[in-house]
Structure 1
């Protein structure tokens, strides 16, 4: 065999070897690309966590009380945590939708909105001690619901829902379950439309402000959560005697801890476990109790809030 012929044969063998290796390389590349895509499609894994809520009473005081949650959550989760106060629930819903906030303390109606618009997921429901009338005494039983009340001054002469026609009522924003949805819908069931019937609504920031607006005679009535009078007892000793409920609504599912919709299942479970663990400690319990009157947290699911969707549908009749 000539030297030239040998060289040609070697070249041919090298080319064939390279061609045979090429599909293997391409398959390997394909696997690599697929793996990267799969990893990124699994969801959001936080490197730091932003938590936001709306206070039910004085915002400045509550934010100071809530700040220590940052350290407790960081210890549980192993990543930096920022806790802040928002102006209203709509702001939190939009912030979660735009991925600026990862975890929101949302009341039921705001959660339903966040789930519908952005696919946000409820992971926990707050637990509170039940409340008995007439003076909002706490029971020893932890429950996953609460109620809304319509408060008036005892000396106002207002005795029933029908007496609210032509009056001025302090309310929260329209996503507030206790401060708007439930009392407004149940008033409608009793033949009084809060958007009509000569009623003027005044939006106030916080249920404590609703109570005080009635106490100070700035409004004739207020929509508040049952037990809200206790928020001002320290400063207004006669509040239980002077401001009284004329109506108490049906059961409302308790507040939620909700996470953004693209968060991984692993981190949803991790955050849920962290909040439940924190609630069991003295320091953690003191914080959640003073901020929201939460006593602990229980696992939750979306179907728990179908009753809210029913009330939301009924609320549409207010503008008809």
Structure 2
């Protein structure tokens, strides 16, 4: 009788031991999460602060933990989104086009609306006391770009220079300074004769001595996309939450002039797609 009781207790003991030593990553308390990736158009710490309210809002609406990360650079960001290594992402328009050319289309969630419009511009700038009055005057001058994959600090301004008959080899020199702010500061302190920045940065530094030389065409605003294989119910949940967002404190945290997140479609970026194609053909 005693032997029978011992034998019957062995399976129970084994089950208890297995439960005790199960890996913690399959515990019911381990919350599923989504990764939200942002391109590094500003310092990482500033971007994390700007997107924290939106991340919290989307987490509450989707009832899913969301972790916001900042990519190291534009190229890494494009590849991570294109290779479906993140669940959803915030992308600049040019990075979005480059990503779709390389990896194919993704689910588009929404785009920014800024001051009531989902379109934005960039500015080719110089100093207020500069003798440069037109793009043609940039021949033989030094020029500062931001990142090689940036919409408004490289690709669109480069297209404008081409249209004005100024190729990069016609410039005295050109450099990439990574960020719009670096470009503005480089021009202001006299390291470069001119540069290209987005309108937000131009207005930030205008009173400190920047002068607008030429404005870019209007381009569809920054866009939120998901990985191609994200389950449709999650895609729809994120999209619904974004389009329903009306809390001004969350929107203005991204940028003070953001007024809404509005519907977007891949076709909204066709004019930029044409600009990038013309640059590729020019090479």
Same fold, TM exceeding 0.5? yes
Residue from 105, 111, 129 that aligns with 1:125: 111
1:283 lines up with 2:249 in the alignment: yes
Residues 90-129 of structure 1: CA deviation (Å, up to 9, x unaligned): 2112112333211111111111122232232322111011
Residues 32-82 of structure 1: CA deviation (Å, up to 9, x unaligned): xxxxxxxxxxxxxx9421111124333322323323433222101111100
Shift of 1:83: 0.6
1:181 lines up with 2:155 in the alignment: yes
1:251 lines up with 2:218 in the alignment: yes
Q: How does 1:180-199 map to 2 (within 5 A)?
A: 180-193=154-167, 195-199=168-172
Structure 1 residue matching 2:224: 3-state secondary structure = strand
Q: Which residue of 2 aligns with 1:132?
A: none
Residues 263-288 of structure 1: CA deviation (Å, up to 9, x unaligned): 2333222111222334x114312322
Indicate how the Cα distance of structure 1 residues 48 and 126 shifts in structure 2: closer, same or farther if over 3 A, else same: same
Q: Following TM superposition, where does structure 1 have runs of at least 4 consecutive aligned residues deviating by more than 4 angstroms?
A: none
Q: Which residue of 2 aligns with 1:143?
A: 117
Provide the rounded CA distance (Å) in 2 between the counterparts of 1:222 and 1:59.
23
**Unpaired runs of 5+ in structure 1?**
1-45, 130-141
Assess if the C-alpha contact under 8 Å between 1:121 and 1:258 holds in 2: yes
Residue from 90, 94, 115 that aligns with 2:100: 115
Structure 2 residue matching 1:219: 3-state secondary structure = coil
Structure 2 residue matching 1:287: 3-state secondary structure = helix
Indicate how the Cα distance of structure 1 residues 168 and 98 shifts in structure 2: closer, same or farther if over 3 A, else same: same
Q: Which residue of 1 aligns with 2:26?
A: none
1:97 lines up with 2:71 in the alignment: no
Structure 1 residue matching 2:35: 3-state secondary structure = strand
Q: Which has the larger radius of gyration?
A: 1
Shift of 1:299: 0.9
**Unpaired runs of 5+ in structure 2?**
1-30
1:296 lines up with 2:260 in the alignment: yes
Residues 197-245 of structure 1: CA deviation (Å, up to 9, x unaligned): 1342211232122111111112111111123133347xxxx32xx2101
Assess if the C-alpha contact under 8 Å between 2:138 and 2:171 holds in 1: no
Provide the rounded CA distance (Å) in 1 between the counterparts of 2:103 and 2:281.
25
1:208 lines up with 2:181 in the alignment: yes
Residues 171-215 of structure 1: CA deviation (Å, up to 9, x unaligned): 12222111111111121111111x211342211232122111111
Q: What CA RMSD, in Å, does the superposition of the two structures yield over aligned residues?
A: 2.0
Residues 4-33 of structure 1: CA deviation (Å, up to 9, x unaligned): xxxxxxxxxxxxxxxxxxxxxxxxxxxxxx
Provide the rounded CA distance (Å) in 1 between the counterparts of 2:179 and 2:258.
17
Provide the rounded CA distance (Å) in 1 between the counterparts of 2:117 and 2:109.
17
Structure 1 residue matching 2:129: 3-state secondary structure = helix
Q: Which residue of 1 aligns with 2:276?
A: 312
Provide the rounded CA distance (Å) in 2 between the counterparts of 1:117 and 1:51.
21
1:226 lines up with 2:199 in the alignment: yes
Q: Which residue of 1 aligns with 2:4?
A: none
Shift of 1:152: 0.1
Residues 123-146 of structure 1: CA deviation (Å, up to 9, x unaligned): 2111011xxxxxxxxxxxx11111
**TM-score of the two chains, using structure 1 as the length reference:** 0.73
Assess if the C-alpha contact under 8 Å between 1:107 and 1:254 holds in 2: yes
**TM-score of the two chains, using structure 2 as the length reference:** 0.82
Assess if the C-alpha contact under 8 Å between 2:58 and 2:242 holds in 1: yes
Shift of 1:318: 4.3
Provide the rounded CA distance (Å) in 1 between the counterparts of 2:177 and 2:259.
26
Q: Which residue of 2 aligns with 1:61?
A: 46
Matched pairs, number: 252
Indicate how the Cα distance of structure 1 residues 230 and 56 shifts in structure 2: closer, same or farther if over 3 A, else same: farther
1:160 lines up with 2:127 in the alignment: no
